[in-house]
Structure 1
Amino acid sequence: MLLTPIIATALWAKRLDAAAVLRFGCSQIAIERVDPLVNPGVVPSPHVHQIVGGNAFAATIPSTDVSQLANCTSCTFSEDLSNYWTANMYFRARNGSYKRVPQIPNRYLDGAKGGITVYYTSPYDGGKVTAFKPGFRMLAGDAAQRTKGGITKWNAICFRCYNAKNFGGDTGAPCSDSKVDSVELPNKPCPGGIRTTIRFPTCWDGKSLDSPDHQSHVSYPASGTFESSGPCPSTHPVRLPQLMYEVIWDTTAFNDKSLWPADGKQPFVFSQGDDTGYGQHGDYIFGWKGDALQKAMEGSCFGATCNTLKSQSYTEANKCTVKRETDEDVDGWLQKIPGGMSG
């Protein structure tokens, strides 16, 4: 099995022969203030998100089998009609104006239209996982978090400052190297941009497809991590695949420090007004067809290659769109972040 530099680390290289690792790109289908998980039916919702995946995405998504509602997806695997979304990043200039930071495709995923790199991983010890069920949804992180804690204590969120445009410094597993990874936004210019990593809970209560806070029905391991085969707590005994997002923010146009705020403070702000990075978060609504994900987790799937799944080209994936539900500028030089948020 040939490992790419992105996931070839000592730990992964030793154990991946026992694991299934899906890694694929999903292009953007929308950038707007809509959030069917936390603010269902609210248009516009409080802050801007970038959304990828199936075209059933809307301000309200019924709690049902999403794969029966969508008829296309912006992801590599055509059987994945799930939706994945995160807050957007903005650059705050010295004059107080804001500009959305664009996303670029991750390494080996050229052709994707920005968006998100999605991972699904089975345990490295060869243990079994139970794929998510139709109607399942969850949230990782807390948009209001502004201090260390929250999911940072599970090493579930981090940022990597690339030292070159060719993903320089991209070695080792995500959130594994304190020399290149941080749980707060980098406070220096990053020549190759900034990568966000968000890892979701991997233990489930086995009953609830959702919960009022979209988190209580799932849990991180009772000790250790998913990667170290940490056990699930007794309250959440069902082991789920490790779902992980990566977003590559192209900050290179904003690396001139003469454009940064005069106080020297790092200039990037997430769309919910977070300039620390602690509030970065991810939303998920499951929408795989049938038992496709379960078969992939039990097979020898690796990267964007999986014999049990149907793939599509990025040319085809990029045709998948949704009707825009808001009418506001999210891309120009703005006097404030949409929704009035500020860092």
Structure 2
Amino acid sequence: MRLSFLAAGLLVPSAYAFWRLPCATPVVNSRIDPIISPGKASSHAHTIMGSNAIGYNTQFGDLRSSQCTTCMVRDDKSAYWIPELYYQNGKGFQAVDHGGMVVYYLQRNAANETVEAFPDGLRMFTGNPYSRSFAGTSESKAISWNCINFNGPGQPDTPGFGNTNCPNGLRAQVFFPACWDGVNLDSPDHKSHMAYPDSVDSGQCPSTHPHHLVSIFFEVWFNVAQFNNLNDGGRFVLANGDPTGYGLHGDFLNGWDRSVLSRAVQTCTDGSGVIENCPVFQNEGRFVSNADMNSCAASNPLQENVSGPIPNLPGCVAVTNGPGPASSTDLVPGCTAAASRRSSDEDLAARAPEAVPGVNRRSHRAMRGQDWLLSV
């Protein structure tokens, strides 16, 4: 089974309606993951889009009361994240910049089903950070990469890193399960309360998970060309120590105003994907300005350089080549991970920079300096 994603964007049959939600920039890059690692630093670094309330213990109420979001609809205070991508060469690791995320919202129910909005407090996690080869499961089929070259023929999606010499970006793609059991907002493995429909990205939900929620799909375009031009024998590695790409994974913490999302799911039936064609957002003044999206920032609880150059991956994660699975014990010997350090005053400064004199509100792109490239 192949998912229908091509370099020109997501292609869907005319019977399907969808919209693309741009998230202009990460709200924070850090070892934060309140789904998998609540109350402590995550094992590896993530690039996170959306609400500036994201932290170690974020709950639905925190998201709803957050001050801002880096995504385009003000009523969506959700948090979206995937692992950071790094370039590794003889000098260490450098994070690969990207221009934010596009989240596709798709109404892809079977004929006898009704698409529903997310329940308040829903959490989802898909993908396996320890995978180093293709498993053939529905979950592994929902993880893919695409090498973008606008001046050449379209490239097929690959389940791991295929060609990474991509002039117009290496695109990470994560499709989330859309079938909910109707009871649990989370589960011990953070997956069992959700299931994929029978065609993974569309189709019928299983009887165990009868509620067909609106489907979401992440795209993140990483700027790999600047590193390929170095021609120094380096390679790309995910923050979870994965040089294969099979360990790509995604997390979603719902923060929508459900009444707004429900009306959008019911009435935004355009098949173009253009979010401005959704009257619930366009006609009701629900869009966030580019300036507000780019100025939104979250508190970072760690005194840790996750951008680079750094000698080891954040969290001291060791790079494991596979094809066998990695494990949580694959760490760099003698490496010490950063510890939490933020005080309440620092949290206030990071979360509400406009209220604290002297706090720098530079965008993510400005802070991800490229001086390292000049010395490689």
Report the equivalent of 2:98: 103
Q: 2:267 aligns with which of 276, 280, 299?
A: 299
Report the equivalent of 2:143: 157
Higher relative contact order at CA 8 Å, sep ≥6: structure 1 or structure 2?
Answer: 1
Report the equivalent of 2:77: 81
- RMSD between superposed Cα atoms in Å: 2.3
Higher mean Cα deviation, 80-89 or 23-32? 23-32
- Secondary structure of the 2:265 match is helix
- Secondary structure of the 1:182 match is coil
- How many angstroms apart in 2 are the aligned matches of 1:239 and 1:22? 19
- How many angstroms apart in 2 are the aligned matches of 1:169 and 1:78? 37
TM normalised by structure 2 equals 0.75
- Secondary structure of the 1:14 match is coil
Is contact 1:134–1:286 with CA below 8 Å preserved after alignment?
A: yes
Alignment of 1:196-275 (within 5 A): 196-221=172-197, 223-227=198-202, 230-256=203-229, 258-261=231-234, 267-275=235-243
- How many angstroms apart in 2 are the aligned matches of 1:154 and 1:333? 31
1:234-281 CA deviation, whole Å, 9 max, x = no partner?
Answer: 1111101111100000001111373124xxxxx110001011111100
TM normalised by structure 1 equals 0.82
Q: Which runs of 5+ in 1 are unaligned?
A: 105-114, 171-178, 262-266
1:342 Cα deviation after fit: 3.3
- How many angstroms apart in 2 are the aligned matches of 1:70 and 1:294? 21
- How many angstroms apart in 2 are the aligned matches of 1:5 and 1:299? 28
Report the equivalent of 1:175: none
Q: Verify: 1:145 aligned to 2:141, yes or no.
A: no
Give 1 or 2 for the bigger CA radius of gyration: 2
1:142-201 CA deviation, whole Å, 9 max, x = no partner?
Answer: 11111211656663111111124x8x656xxxxxxxx42111112442222200110000
Is contact 1:26–1:118 with CA below 8 Å preserved after alignment?
A: no
> Which residue identity does 2:125 align to in structure 1?
L
Report the equivalent of 2:106: 121
Report the equivalent of 1:25: 23
Higher mean Cα deviation, 155-164 or 120-129? 120-129
Report the equivalent of 2:322: none
- Secondary structure of the 1:158 match is strand
1:34-89 CA deviation, whole Å, 9 max, x = no partner?
Answer: 111100111x3211001111122111113x44443312111100100000011000
1:103-161 CA deviation, whole Å, 9 max, x = no partner?
Answer: 02xxxxxxxxxx21111110276752111111110101111111211656663111111
Is contact 2:47–2:84 with CA below 8 Å preserved after alignment?
A: yes
1:98 Cα deviation after fit: 1.0
Structure 2 CA distance for partners of 1:333 and 1:136, relative to 1, 3 Å: same
Is contact 1:15–1:125 with CA below 8 Å preserved after alignment?
A: no
Is contact 2:180–2:211 with CA below 8 Å preserved after alignment?
A: yes
- How many angstroms apart in 1 are the aligned matches of 2:138 and 2:93? 27
> Which residue identity does 2:133 align to in structure 1?
T
Is contact 2:177–2:200 with CA below 8 Å preserved after alignment?
A: no
Structure (1/2) with the larger helix percentage: 2
Q: Which runs of 5+ in 2 are unaligned?
A: 1-5, 320-376
1:216 Cα deviation after fit: 0.3
> Which residue identity does 1:121 align to in structure 2?
L
> Which residue identity does 1:277 align to in structure 2?
G
Structure 2 CA distance for partners of 1:308 and 1:208, relative to 1, 3 Å: same
- Secondary structure of the 1:284 match is strand
- How many angstroms apart in 2 are the aligned matches of 1:14 and 1:312? 28
Structure 2 CA distance for partners of 1:41 and 1:260, relative to 1, 3 Å: same
Structure 2 CA distance for partners of 1:253 and 1:22, relative to 1, 3 Å: closer
Report sequence identity in percent. Answer: 32
> Which residue identity does 1:158 align to in structure 2?
S
- Secondary structure of the 1:318 match is helix
Structure 2 CA distance for partners of 1:153 and 1:60, relative to 1, 3 Å: closer
- How many angstroms apart in 1 are the aligned matches of 2:308 and 2:220? 21
Q: Verify: 1:284 aligned to 2:252, yes or no.
A: yes
Report the equivalent of 1:50: 47
Report the equivalent of 1:173: none
> Which residue identity does 2:101 align to in structure 1?
I
Is contact 1:29–1:74 with CA below 8 Å preserved after alignment?
A: yes
- Secondary structure of the 1:295 match is helix
Is contact 1:140–1:200 with CA below 8 Å preserved after alignment?
A: yes
The count of residues paired between Structure 1 and Structure 2 equals: 305
